[in-house]
Amino acid sequence: MSTEPRGLAARVVSAFREYGKHDAIVRRDDYIQAHLAGLRADALVVNVGCALVRRFEADCHSRYLATDLRVLDNVDFSSDATMLPLADDSVDTLITLEMLEHVPDPAAVVSELARVLKPGGTILLSVPSAVPRHDHHDYWRFTAQGLKHLCDPLFAEGEVMVFGGTFETLGYLAAYYISLLLHVLKVPGKTFRQFFPSIGAAIDRRAGWTTSTSALHTLAFDLLYVGTGAEGSIRRPKPVPSVGPVDQPEPWAPAP
């Protein structure tokens, strides 16, 4: 006998109940954890810009170092991300989460990350896309195309993954600003934080174009660049065309 929820109301309730276990950031972190689980014990993992959390260390069986610009109790060393005190080609996996939007020169940081990453190593670099300003040092937002344009010249290969598609992102923004309004009005509004994003995520699962990295009319909550370390001879920035390809884009959503 099928246990699938029947009816629109039942599907909405099911999506709401399950969303907290599978929101965009949880899905992204699950992907990163799966990568770390496959590393050798002697591999070196460095979390650059870790802030106050040594994320993934508990589930990482390899050597793990955490660094941040600030002198914090939880870091192994403090360093500007454009001048890491690490040797060339010395790191097996680099993790950089939600840091690039806070630096004045993202290209310089990516270049330094490419320098320390071993050929064949992996960089896992996430950035927000359609997220409100959340810090006094919050300079940039990235599209999938922009992130790939920034990173691809410095790595042997790479791809951008979307965590939180168009409608999940719209749900998050709706929840964020409704909760903000209710806070100003001193009205409890915790439910909205999960309700709208959960409905959006359910829509994204049914509509394939909403999580595309190249279709038009799309939004993304979080983007993860997964790149492979290059040999030193090709790690110098490769020329990138100033205009995009002339071929037709992916199918897109109809204009409203």
- What per-residue confidence (pLDDT) applies to 13? 53
Q: Residue 180's pLDDT is what?
A: 85
pLDDT at 149: 97
Residue 255: what pLDDT?
43
Q: Output 189 or 49, whichever has higher pLDDT.
A: 49
User: Phi/psi of residue 199, each to 5°?
Assistant: -70, -40
Q: What is the pLDDT of residue 8?
A: 53
- For residue 9, name the pLDDT band (cuts at 50, 70, 90): low
Bigger pLDDT: 233 vs 117: 117
pLDDT in tens, 51-103: 999 999 998 999 999 999 999 999 999 999 999 999 999 999 999 999 999 99
74-79 contacts, C-beta under 8 A, 24 or more apart: 74/50, 75/50
What are the chain's domains? 21-165+215-232 (3.40.50.150)
Long-range contacts of 16-20 (CB under 8 A, 24+ apart): 16/194, 16/195, 16/198, 16/199, 18/198, 19/194, 19/197, 19/198, 19/201, 20/194
Residue 248 C-alpha from the chain's centroid: 27
Q: Report whether 195 contacts 227 (CB < 8 A).
A: no
Query: Would you state the pLDDT for residue 179?
Result: 85
Write down the mean pLDDT value for the chain. Answer: 86
Q: What region does 24 belong to: left with phi over 0, alpha with psi -120 to 50, or beta?
A: alpha
Q: What is the DSSP letter of 230?
A: P
Tens of pLDDT along 109-140?
999 999 999 999 999 999 999 999 988 899 99
Among 30-34, 62-66, 251-255, name the one with the lowest average pLDDT: 251-255
Q: How confident is the model at residue 253 (pLDDT cuts 50, 70, 90)?
A: very low
Tell the burial category of 242 from Cβ atoms under 10 Å away from its Cβ (0-12, 13-18, 19+).
exposed
Joined tokens for residue 169? 């992102």
Under 8 Å between Cβ of 62 and 43? yes
pLDDT of residue 7: 64
Q: What is the pLDDT of residue 24?
A: 93
